[in-house]
Amino acid sequence: MAIIDEDDYLVAVNKPFNLLSVPGRGEHKQDCVVSRLQQRYADIRVVHRLDCHTSGLMLLARGLEAQRRLSRLFHDRRVDKRYIAVVEGEVHTEQGVIDIPLRGDPENRPVQVVDCIHGKPAQTRWRLQKKEGGSGSPMSRLILQPLTGRTHQLRVHCMAMGHPIVGDRLYNSAGHRAGRMMLHADRLEFVHPFSNRPLRLLAECEF
């Protein structure tokens, strides 16, 4: 797991695909980003999470005060997050905003569902980067910028627009059988909460 940036207040890593962000239930789910970093940083604390099957940039805090300040940046939407996704089908328009409310499905956790009445607001800005695949199996590469931070937001929003993410076994079980889910967090931008210097963290897409 590569460290992208670090100082006395934060650590940014490039989380591999198929690694938990935090420990799960059971002895077999203890290997995760946090447990690995705890071996090097005794004061490491969680700020946000990535799905197990999403790779890319994950930011962690060093100490309670750093966790509080960094978490506030995410809460106040002062962190610019960007993801790369390869989705099923040919996307014909260049860009747009998905504004579809989401909620958890209590009968099928951790699945999220579209619910325009009881769901929480969720918005994702997207842009077509390029078209991929042949005529028999068209795919499109998108740049995704979540404006809110709902669970599985990008995965459900892509599905809702008719272009589920390739390799997403939860929301795209009938799609392309890729070796992994094609979703990667490649950029984080924010102002450092202690030094006030602008930070632009990058992790090159792995697919």
Catalytic residue among 7, 51, 80, 105: 51
Reported as a single tens digit per residue, the pLDDT across 25-67 is: 877 778 999 999 999 999 999 999 999 999 999 999 999 999 9
Distance of CA 75 to the CA centre of its chain: 15
If residue 73 lies in a helix (H) or strand (E), which one and from where to where? helix 64-75
pLDDT of residue 54: 97
Distance of CA 113 to the CA centre of its chain: 17
Active site residue 7: no
Asked if 18 contacts 24 with a C-beta cutoff of 8 angstroms, the reply is no
pLDDT of residue 145: 98
Percentage of the chain lying above the pLDDT 90 cut: 86
pLDDT of residue 109: 85
d(CA 85, CA 125): 13
Which among 20, 52, 32 is positioned nearest to 170, based on CA atoms? 52
pLDDT of residue 175: 75
pLDDT of residue 23: 86
pTM: 0.94
As given in the structure block, the two tokens for residue 92 are 């014909």
